[in-house]
Amino acid sequence: MTTRFATSQIIERSFAVMGNTAHISVVDGIDADLDFAQFRLIELENLWSRFLTTSEISQLNLSEGAPVSVHAETIRLVKYMKVGRQATNGLFDPTLLPALVANGYGRSLVEPLHITLLPGGAKFNQPLDMVVINESSHTISMPKNLTLDPGAIGKGLAADIVANELMQREVAGVCVNVGG
Protein backbone atom coordinates (compact mmCIF):
# COMPACT_ATOMS: atom_id res chain seq x y z
CA MET A 1 0.00 0.00 0.00
CA THR A 2 1.39 3.39 -1.01
CA THR A 3 0.36 6.46 0.91
CA ARG A 4 0.75 10.10 0.05
CA PHE A 5 3.49 10.38 2.66
CA ALA A 6 5.51 7.54 1.16
CA THR A 7 5.97 9.60 -2.00
CA SER A 8 6.44 12.98 -0.34
CA GLN A 9 9.62 14.90 -0.95
CA ILE A 10 11.31 17.11 1.63
CA ILE A 11 13.36 20.09 0.47
CA GLU A 12 15.51 22.02 2.92
CA ARG A 13 17.62 25.13 3.28
CA SER A 14 19.83 26.59 6.02
CA PHE A 15 21.02 30.20 6.16
CA ALA A 16 22.17 32.85 8.60
CA VAL A 17 19.49 35.15 10.01
CA MET A 18 18.69 36.83 13.35
CA GLY A 19 22.18 36.08 14.66
CA ASN A 20 21.63 32.34 14.21
CA THR A 21 21.21 29.67 11.60
CA ALA A 22 17.70 29.11 10.32
CA HIS A 23 16.73 25.72 8.94
CA ILE A 24 13.64 25.39 6.77
CA SER A 25 12.12 22.05 5.74
CA VAL A 26 9.19 21.92 3.33
CA VAL A 27 7.25 18.79 2.43
CA ASP A 28 6.04 18.65 -1.17
CA GLY A 29 7.15 22.19 -1.89
CA ILE A 30 9.31 23.87 -4.50
CA ASP A 31 12.45 25.99 -4.33
CA ALA A 32 10.30 29.13 -4.56
CA ASP A 33 8.81 28.16 -1.17
CA LEU A 34 12.29 28.10 0.37
CA ASP A 35 13.11 31.42 -1.33
CA PHE A 36 9.93 32.89 0.13
CA ALA A 37 10.71 31.63 3.64
CA GLN A 38 14.24 33.01 3.52
CA PHE A 39 13.02 36.38 2.22
CA ARG A 40 10.37 36.63 4.97
CA LEU A 41 12.79 35.78 7.78
CA ILE A 42 15.24 38.39 6.52
CA GLU A 43 12.38 40.88 6.24
CA LEU A 44 11.36 40.22 9.86
CA GLU A 45 14.98 40.52 11.00
CA ASN A 46 15.14 43.92 9.31
CA LEU A 47 12.04 44.99 11.24
CA TRP A 48 13.06 43.59 14.63
CA SER A 49 16.84 43.47 15.04
CA ARG A 50 18.21 45.61 17.83
CA PHE A 51 21.53 45.59 15.96
CA LEU A 52 20.15 47.42 12.91
CA THR A 53 19.63 51.13 13.50
CA THR A 54 16.98 51.19 10.75
CA SER A 55 14.81 48.47 12.35
CA GLU A 56 11.49 49.35 13.89
CA ILE A 57 12.66 47.97 17.24
CA SER A 58 15.70 50.27 17.20
CA GLN A 59 13.50 53.21 16.21
CA LEU A 60 11.14 52.41 19.10
CA ASN A 61 14.05 52.08 21.52
CA LEU A 62 15.37 55.51 20.52
CA SER A 63 11.96 57.22 20.24
CA GLU A 64 12.05 58.88 23.69
CA GLY A 65 8.28 58.50 24.01
CA ALA A 66 7.27 59.65 20.52
CA PRO A 67 4.96 57.41 18.48
CA VAL A 68 6.70 55.31 15.82
CA SER A 69 5.03 54.01 12.66
CA VAL A 70 5.44 50.24 12.46
CA HIS A 71 4.34 47.26 10.38
CA ALA A 72 1.58 44.91 11.54
CA GLU A 73 4.20 42.25 12.35
CA THR A 74 5.89 44.60 14.84
CA ILE A 75 2.56 45.38 16.49
CA ARG A 76 1.99 41.64 16.84
CA LEU A 77 5.47 41.15 18.33
CA VAL A 78 5.03 43.91 20.92
CA LYS A 79 1.58 42.55 21.84
CA TYR A 80 3.13 39.13 22.43
CA MET A 81 5.82 40.74 24.59
CA LYS A 82 3.16 42.44 26.70
CA VAL A 83 1.12 39.23 27.04
CA GLY A 84 4.23 37.21 27.90
CA ARG A 85 5.26 39.68 30.57
CA GLN A 86 1.80 39.65 32.14
CA ALA A 87 1.28 35.88 31.87
CA THR A 88 4.57 35.16 33.67
CA ASN A 89 4.17 37.87 36.31
CA GLY A 90 7.31 39.53 34.97
CA LEU A 91 9.53 36.44 34.69
CA PHE A 92 9.60 37.00 30.92
CA ASP A 93 11.20 40.42 30.59
CA PRO A 94 11.79 41.89 27.12
CA THR A 95 13.08 45.11 28.75
CA LEU A 96 16.44 43.63 29.79
CA LEU A 97 18.29 45.30 26.90
CA PRO A 98 20.20 47.87 29.00
CA ALA A 99 21.47 45.05 31.25
CA LEU A 100 22.52 42.99 28.21
CA VAL A 101 24.45 45.93 26.77
CA ALA A 102 26.03 46.73 30.16
CA ASN A 103 27.22 43.13 30.39
CA GLY A 104 28.96 43.23 27.01
CA TYR A 105 26.28 42.13 24.57
CA GLY A 106 25.87 45.39 22.72
CA ARG A 107 27.46 44.18 19.50
CA SER A 108 26.22 41.50 17.12
CA LEU A 109 28.16 38.26 17.45
CA VAL A 110 27.85 37.56 13.72
CA GLU A 111 28.16 41.12 12.36
CA PRO A 112 30.50 42.95 14.78
CA LEU A 113 29.94 46.29 13.04
CA HIS A 114 26.26 46.13 14.00
CA ILE A 115 25.73 47.60 17.46
CA THR A 116 22.83 48.31 19.78
CA LEU A 117 22.11 51.98 20.39
CA LEU A 118 20.41 52.90 23.64
CA PRO A 119 19.02 56.25 24.72
CA GLY A 120 20.58 57.84 27.78
CA GLY A 121 18.76 56.77 30.92
CA ALA A 122 17.48 53.48 29.51
CA LYS A 123 16.49 51.16 32.35
CA PHE A 124 15.66 47.48 32.49
CA ASN A 125 12.85 45.70 34.34
CA GLN A 126 10.31 48.29 33.20
CA PRO A 127 6.56 47.66 33.16
CA LEU A 128 4.99 47.31 29.72
CA ASP A 129 1.56 48.64 30.64
CA MET A 130 2.57 52.13 29.45
CA VAL A 131 3.44 50.84 25.97
CA VAL A 132 0.63 52.15 23.75
CA ILE A 133 -0.24 50.23 20.59
CA ASN A 134 -2.48 52.10 18.17
CA GLU A 135 -3.55 49.61 15.52
CA SER A 136 -5.59 52.11 13.51
CA SER A 137 -2.60 54.40 12.97
CA HIS A 138 -0.04 51.55 13.00
CA THR A 139 2.00 53.25 15.72
CA ILE A 140 3.57 52.26 19.02
CA SER A 141 4.57 54.68 21.77
CA MET A 142 6.83 53.66 24.66
CA PRO A 143 7.82 55.50 27.83
CA LYS A 144 11.05 57.44 27.64
CA ASN A 145 13.43 55.05 29.45
CA LEU A 146 11.97 51.78 28.17
CA THR A 147 13.69 49.65 25.50
CA LEU A 148 12.81 46.27 24.03
CA ASP A 149 14.86 43.27 22.92
CA PRO A 150 12.83 40.76 20.88
CA GLY A 151 15.39 37.98 21.44
CA ALA A 152 13.87 34.51 21.63
CA ILE A 153 10.23 35.63 21.39
CA GLY A 154 11.07 37.40 18.12
CA LYS A 155 12.75 34.32 16.69
CA GLY A 156 9.87 32.08 17.75
CA LEU A 157 7.23 34.43 16.39
CA ALA A 158 9.15 34.79 13.11
CA ALA A 159 9.26 31.00 12.79
CA ASP A 160 5.50 30.78 13.48
CA ILE A 161 4.68 33.52 10.95
CA VAL A 162 6.77 31.94 8.21
CA ALA A 163 5.48 28.42 8.94
CA ASN A 164 1.87 29.63 8.67
CA GLU A 165 2.58 31.55 5.48
CA LEU A 166 4.30 28.51 3.94
CA MET A 167 1.28 26.33 4.76
CA GLN A 168 -0.92 28.84 2.92
CA ARG A 169 1.20 28.11 -0.16
CA GLU A 170 -0.37 24.62 -0.20
CA VAL A 171 2.65 22.58 0.82
CA ALA A 172 2.09 19.34 2.74
CA GLY A 173 4.10 20.36 5.81
CA VAL A 174 6.84 22.62 7.14
CA CYS A 175 9.38 22.96 9.90
CA VAL A 176 10.88 26.40 10.53
CA ASN A 177 13.72 26.55 13.05
CA VAL A 178 15.35 29.89 13.81
CA GLY A 179 18.36 29.18 16.00
CA GLY A 180 16.91 26.62 18.30
pLDDT at 152 over 50: yes
What pLDDT digit, counting tens, does each position of 96-124 carry? Answer: 999 999 999 988 888 888 899 999 899 99
Q: 75 CB contacts (<8 Å, ≥6 apart)?
A: 133, 135, 138, 140
Listed in sequence order, the DSSP H helices in the chain are: 31-48, 56-61, 72-87, 97-102, 151-167
pLDDT at 1 over 50: no
Region 123-131 average pLDDT: 91
Torsion of CA 44, 113, 178, 152, to 10 degrees: -80
What pLDDT digit, counting tens, does each position of 16-67 carry? Answer: 999 899 999 999 999 999 999 999 999 999 999 999 999 999 999 999 999 9
Q: Which residue ranges form the domains of the chain, and what is each CATH number?
A: 9-49+150-180 (no CATH), 66-148 (1.10.3980.10)
- Find out whether 28 and 172 touch, Cβ atoms under 8 Å: yes
| Helix axis angle, 31-48 to 151-167, nearest 10° | 150
